[in-house]
Structure 1
Amino acid sequence: MSCRVTRRHRGGTCPRVLGGYRATVPCSALPPRCFPVTDARPHHLYVVEDDVALRDMLATYLERQGMAVTAMASAEELLKRMDRLRPDLVVLDINLPGLSGLQACQQLRAQGDRLPIILLTAQSDEIDRVLGLEMGADDYLGKPFSARELLARIRAVLRRVGTAPGLPVPGAAPVALGDLRFDPASRTLQGPDGARVLSTVEFALLAELVASPHVPLSRERLLAATHQRADSVAERTIDVAVMRLRKLVEPDPAMPRFIQTVRGHGYMFVPGGSA
């Protein structure tokens, strides 16, 4: 049984309409805020949303799921807090007053920061979603959305980060890409000018490609490898990720040697590059 509420409600599942957006949460998840008893450090999230009701509801729900949450209303506050304490992941609304979520994401990526970011976008605004991916966001969720779906996306991104720097990837050996050396085991991409930072999606994409040299990989397979969703912008999602990756590994991204397009199918890794 479900019910529509604008106040706290106990029992059942409540689709809550907050600030014009609908988010479905278990009613029991709303009061009170608390953390389960656990020996592990909870993941720390920043939730950046200017709609106070939606922001508070998400913070309460995520805390009840064992997350530590710092909620804030602006991208400016996010950037200030980043100088003091880095979270494990940021849930970032695109349409914020002042500095937008897209601009904040762009600033972080321009600084080489690969902090996992999930964007909250308008359901129908494909342009914002594509721009967010081009700027390096790890995932996006359109409003209205289910809080449980947001939690699933958060956990999926954290799992990708959880295999992160330093943990071995079984059977993976370093791969040369011209002057670059990609080591899946340590998740590093080294070049003459030092290390190049890979986002979680960029790492997963490159690791999948180099694991099957000279084999064309479909967009569907690459979507699965990067834990992206097959939806209306799925193909564009992979194309954007490949474009970003080429900027990191290709001498001339406009004339790719290592990550080649297989027309009508997907992409292929060519060891040593093509002439």
Structure 2
Amino acid sequence: MAQSAAHRGLVVVAEDEAAIADIIRRHLERDGYAVHLESSGTAVEDAVVRLSPAALILDIGLPGRDGIEICRRLRAAGNWVPIVFLSARGEEVDRIVGIELGADDYLAKPFSPRELVARLGGLLRRSNRPEPQPDTTLTLGAVRIDTATRRTYLAGQHIDLTATEFDLLAFLAKHPGQVFSRAQLLDHVWGYANDPGSRTVDVHIAQLRAKLGSVAVLRTVRGVGYAAEPGDR
């Protein structure tokens, strides 16, 4: 697809299986994205830095350098491009490790290309959507969330969050004290209501708590879900 027709941004697809890469490319282009394909793990980081894509679809099992290491290196370098992991293995440990490293979403092979495109679209809409003015700041104790700039501060110091971590924290902060189930959070934040056997929400909550340190503004309601509480607990 010509660049002029790709109105939804550029997506780097890192996938070494040519047939799968082609299917992903065709579905993304059909939905209005430009696509850059990489089949070797050693070339992905350079492509992301050089092209500044809207998102990266990253297969874990790449030759040369696997997706886990690529994600680790990008995040360590301060690059927070939205990442959707793909894996042929599908074990829960892969999902957890990916999220812990800063991935925004995860799909196990075999997957529906339409679902991949839908999840990517939801992720990018959340990352880019404008917030109502002028109330752009949310506060939870020492945590300040600027929804206009999508930046989060802890005691005045900026902390790095992935797009999904930011969306999850901001959503809970907009409804302080209200308890949301995992299914409700998947629906409101990720845009899909069911992910059987997944600990996606739990792991993102754990990552937020790790980044917020001792500032305990996220409360677990056993057997129900999670809530944001103003102030330290």
| Runs of 4+ displaced beyond 6 Å | none
Q: Matched residues in 2 for 1:62 and 1:257: separation? A: 40
SS where residue 76 of structure 1 aligns?
Answer: helix
Cα distance, 1:41 vs. partner? 3.6
Is the Cα–Cα contact under 8 Å of residues 204 and 225 in structure 1 kept in the other structure? no
Is the Cα–Cα contact under 8 Å of residues 261 and 268 in structure 1 kept in the other structure? yes
Cα distance, 1:142 vs. partner? 1.7
Q: Matched residues in 2 for 1:214 and 1:61: separation? A: 41
1:260 is matched with 219
Unaligned regions of 5+ residues in structure 2, if any? none
Distance 1:243 1:172, change over 3 A: farther
> Identity percentage over the alignment?
38
| TM-score of the two chains, using structure 1 as the length reference | 0.75
Is the Cα–Cα contact under 8 Å of residues 118 and 141 in structure 1 kept in the other structure? yes
RMSD over aligned CA atoms reads 2.4
Q: Matched residues in 1 for 2:59 and 2:225: separation? A: 31
Cα distance, 1:237 vs. partner? 0.8
Bigger-Rg structure (1/2): 1
CA deviations on 1:157-191 (whole Å, 9 max, x unpaired) are: 1211221xxx3246745233444322223322124
1:128 is matched with 94
Name the structure, 1 or 2, with higher relative contact order (CA <8 Å, separation 6+).
Answer: 2
Count residues with an aligned counterpart. Answer: 232
1:246 is matched with 209
Q: Matched residues in 1 for 2:52 and 2:168: separation? A: 25
Cα distance, 1:193 vs. partner? 6.5
2:59 is matched with 93
Unaligned regions of 5+ residues in structure 1, if any? 1-33
Distance 1:124 1:244, change over 3 A: closer
| TM-score of the two chains, using structure 2 as the length reference | 0.87
2:159 is matched with 196
Cα distance, 1:54 vs. partner? 2.3
Is the Cα–Cα contact under 8 Å of residues 139 and 228 in structure 1 kept in the other structure? no
Q: Matched residues in 2 for 1:61 and 1:180: separation? A: 40
Is the Cα–Cα contact under 8 Å of residues 35 and 63 in structure 1 kept in the other structure? no
Cα distance, 1:238 vs. partner? 0.7
